[in-house]
Structure 1
């Protein structure tokens, strides 16, 4: 019954859409080369329109990132930023932040890295963490939403020294990675020996993975079994599994107001159907390194 209700709301959502307002200020960060270095930013302004009063209030609070299209910005990053600036995106980010806060409640004096597009969630720890860096894997990053340092990185070679971070959050990274094992290998290298990671990925069985208008509908969704096997192959040990976004992916005000109720009800009635999987794993420095299978060889023996 619960799954049927979610499916009905999901189908109805296709009939409704609401354009989100966009602010007219954007920032372009320059790539940084070390975990402790702060990137420089260049401010761009648009003369086409001015942000409204309500949008300006959102910009100052940090809940709705200011956004402007900049020539050269990748389409997926622009769509992702627009989503988190929308009403439904803000509700989804708030529900995800609540779950992340339960997994990592206190990161005081720790080095934190957000990889992929983690800016909507790093506000949880940026005031207490020793270092809090958002490492974007897209073409350009809009960094007005957070005060933490932001840089652009190549997922195939992170520009940080080994053993740099205590905690790493991967958000909108694994599902679009060119090589997921390669990306996790890079994460393993820059993570401290007692460090932990959280993988935030769309659930293959959830509704959000089938909604292309959201960032969770892009790339390849994952199941818990696939994530567990990938982490084991990448020398990580799974510690905890959690989920979020049982709320259907719609931008209807009545549904959004029931977001917390949908989360509680979904976790009890359909624990296998969250929209997003959250998997916490610890770096396993004592795991046996995988070895390639040796080919059989012929051996000469003396004839009888």
Structure 2
């Protein structure tokens, strides 16, 4: 029964959820290796990933509409506050870094979440978004909360960020393969995952992580896309008016009555001629 969807809170308390969060957080640490002395806010259900980021000097806080144990049942790992992603109870520019995991969920319009995240981010702050890839990402992540999130392409998320006055800076990927065989990814991915397991485990293969091998062998084919974004007030794009004009209406047509009748000697009526 791997297709039964668990809530993010209950999923990240299971062994599969802990392994999934560790692999996503490993990709986040490649982008943000040093977070000492910074304040980091997790939006959505990011507490499990936040537990792997930063050090003792990092001030971490998770904001989610769901309550419950944080970071794999460790209540003291990351403090949690219950809040709506579209209305965060923080002042402007309160955090240095923001991590969005399962924040967009199945939203058809991600702009309220992205704009609210940009509001509580400092002027020189950075935002890190983890979303499933549209390239069969949700199919490979069945049985995880990512399967219920809206899948994106790089072009689509770039347009959404631009509408929220954000600019992508760096990209990365994670979860090229399911965490282990039988995770609901189908027989093909299950057989490949079983091969990696026999070679030395899903987390490593002769010292190299599976995701690192995937980035070298098939870049762009991961299940989860990670994008780091910064503020950019010059990248906003105008919203379409919705009342599009047909191409024929843009053709210049003569106004009614502009054409006049000509005589046989090609002299228009009504025009004064010299004697």
Q: How has the CA–CA distance of structure 1 residues 87 and 147 changed in structure 2, closer, same or farther, with 3 Å as cutoff?
A: closer
Q: How has the CA–CA distance of structure 1 residues 289 and 213 changed in structure 2, closer, same or farther, with 3 Å as cutoff?
A: closer
TM-score, normalised to structure 1, is 0.65
1:208 CA displacement: 4.0
Alpha-carbon distance in 2 for matches of 1:137, 1:260: 34
Structure 1, unaligned runs of 5 or more: 1-13, 18-74, 297-303
Matched with 1:6 is none
Q: Report how many residues are paired.
A: 223
Matched with 1:127 is 56
Matched with 1:62 is none
Alpha-carbon distance in 1 for matches of 2:126, 2:223: 23
Pick aligned residue for 2:69 from 142, 146, 160: 142
Give 3-state SS (helix, strand or coil) of 2:12's partner.
helix
Q: Deviations over 1:54-99 (max 9, x none)?
A: xxxxxxxxxxxxxxxxxxxxx97x5323322222222222211211
Pick aligned residue for 2:30 from 102, 105, 110: 102
Give 3-state SS (helix, strand or coil) of 1:246's partner.
coil
Structure 2, unaligned runs of 5 or more: 183-192, 246-257, 259-275
1:291 CA displacement: 6.8
1:227 CA displacement: 0.7
Q: Deviations over 1:100-120 (max 9, x none)?
A: 111101112211100001111
Q: How has the CA–CA distance of structure 1 residues 290 and 242 changed in structure 2, closer, same or farther, with 3 Å as cutoff?
A: same
Alpha-carbon distance in 1 for matches of 2:26, 2:242: 48
Worse-superposed segment, 86-95 or 168-177: 86-95
Matched with 1:51 is none
Q: How has the CA–CA distance of structure 1 residues 289 and 269 changed in structure 2, closer, same or farther, with 3 Å as cutoff?
A: closer
Matched with 1:284 is 232
Conservation of the 8 A alpha-carbon contact between 1:191 and 1:283: no
User: Superposed, which structure 2 residues align to 1:135-174 within 5 Å?
Assistant: 135-138=63-66, 140-143=67-70, 144-145=73-74, 146-174=76-104
Alpha-carbon distance in 1 for matches of 2:63, 2:87: 12
Give 3-state SS (helix, strand or coil) of 2:143's partner.
coil
Does the alignment pair 1:212 with 2:139?
no
Pick aligned residue for 1:274 from 222, 225, 239: 222
Matched with 1:46 is none
Conservation of the 8 A alpha-carbon contact between 1:177 and 1:183: no
Bigger Rg, which one: 2
* RMSD over equivalenced CA pairs, Å: 2.9
1:278 CA displacement: 0.3
Q: How has the CA–CA distance of structure 1 residues 79 and 250 changed in structure 2, closer, same or farther, with 3 Å as cutoff?
A: farther
Q: How has the CA–CA distance of structure 1 residues 211 and 96 changed in structure 2, closer, same or farther, with 3 Å as cutoff?
A: closer
Alpha-carbon distance in 1 for matches of 2:228, 2:128: 4
